[in-house]
Amino acid sequence: MQHTPNKSEIARTLATAHRNFEPSISRIIHLVADKEHNDAEPVKLLEVNPDTFESGIWPILFGADPPQIPFSSVVIEVTESEYDAIRAGSLRLPEGWKLGDTLYPAVA
């Protein structure tokens, strides 16, 4: 029987792939929503990249790519100062989304 990865596993897979593709990323956080249990809810990553420019919160949606990536995904790329503003609550994520596990750098 084939194992179907869950959203947390897919988030880690995507984080690794994105970090390998864009080495300037300093941090990747899994964003979670109130309706995370719903399969239609995408896997969401917040990527902190000091080489990007400040532009606020602009979620970019990617389609699923079964069987390896069975869920759609969303990436939000921010600067370090924007990440600090998110943590402080002065820059808001989309309604119902919140910071989840830090995927990179991996927590020991």
57 half-sphere exposure, CB direction, 13 A CA radius: 18
58 half-sphere exposure, CB direction, 13 A CA radius: 8
Q: Which fold has domain 7-104?
A: Beta Polymerase; domain 2 (3.30.460)
Question: The pTM is what?
Answer: 0.92
- Using left for φ > 0, alpha for ψ between -120 and 50, and beta otherwise, residue 96 falls in left
pLDDT, one tens digit per residue, over 55-95 is 999 999 999 998 889 999 999 999 999 999 999 999 999 99
